């Protein structure tokens, strides 16, 4: 009795299986990494923006008003966010003074709230794009032994 056995030729299929598995695992990993990088970039930008805005508000030259200090602070924050490739709108930045602005012994608190949209999601899907909320806050003292500037 003659027995014929057929062996399946599997030469090369391990490479194909590895490529499919690598593709199925690497694409989500790359997407997650892109999202993490965007959020980290926004976080760095928000921290730098609040710090720059607080300092710009405090060191306003003599003779300028509180509105001028706010404009300088917004411009400093806008530049810090632009360094990270992000835009800043005026409604994202909030500047509060306690007890009064540009008075000896007061403090200035700058808060920034921003939304970072997740990457590679088209607007064609409808609705708002999913986003991650990023916020930062910085408090800067005006100093007890400084001249009051907000009277101009």
What does each of the 152 residues of the chain score in pLDDT, given as a tens digit? 666 655 666 566 788 888 888 889 998 899 999 999 999 999 999 999 999 999 999 998 878 899 999 999 999 999 999 999 999 999 999 999 999 988 888 999 999 999 999 888 877 777 788 899 999 999 999 887 777 665 54
131 lies in a domain?
Answer: yes
Q: What is the pLDDT of residue 17?
A: 85
Consecutive H or E run containing 49: helix 13-58
Read off φ and ψ for residue 71, nearest 5 degrees: -65, -40
Q: Mapping DSSP to helix (H, G, I), strand (E, B) and coil, where does residue 109 land? A: strand
48 lies in a domain?
Answer: yes
Find the domain containing 46 and state its range: 15-141
4 lies in a domain?
Answer: no
What residues contact 23, with CB distance under 8 A and at least 6 apart? none
The CA-atom distances, in angstroms, between 17 and each of 14, 27, 29, 30, 138 are 5, 16, 18, 20, 52
147 lies in a domain?
Answer: no
8 lies in a domain?
Answer: no
71 lies in a domain?
Answer: yes
127 lies in a domain?
Answer: yes
Q: What is the pLDDT of residue 63?
A: 81
Number of domains, the chain: 1
């Amino acid at each position: 009795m003659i027995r014929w056995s057929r062996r399946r030729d599997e030469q090369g299929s391990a490479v194909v299986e590895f490529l499919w598995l690598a593709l199925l695992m690497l694409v989500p990993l790359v997407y997650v990494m892109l999202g993490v990088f965007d959020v980290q970039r926004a976080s760095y930008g928000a921290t730098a923006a609040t710090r720059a805005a607080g300092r710009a508000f405090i060191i306003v030259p003599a003779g300028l008003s509180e509105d001028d200090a706010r404009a300088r602070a917004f411009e400093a924050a806008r530049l810090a966010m632009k360094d990270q490739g992000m835009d800043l709108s005026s409604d994202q930045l909030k500047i509060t003074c306690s007890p009064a602005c540009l008075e000896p012994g007061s403090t200035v608190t700058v808060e920034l709230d921003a939304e970072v949209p997740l990457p590679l999601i088209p607007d064609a899907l409808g609705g708002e794009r999913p986003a991650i909320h990023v916020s930062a806050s910085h408090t800067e003292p005006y100093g007890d032994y400084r001249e009051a500037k907000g009277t101009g």
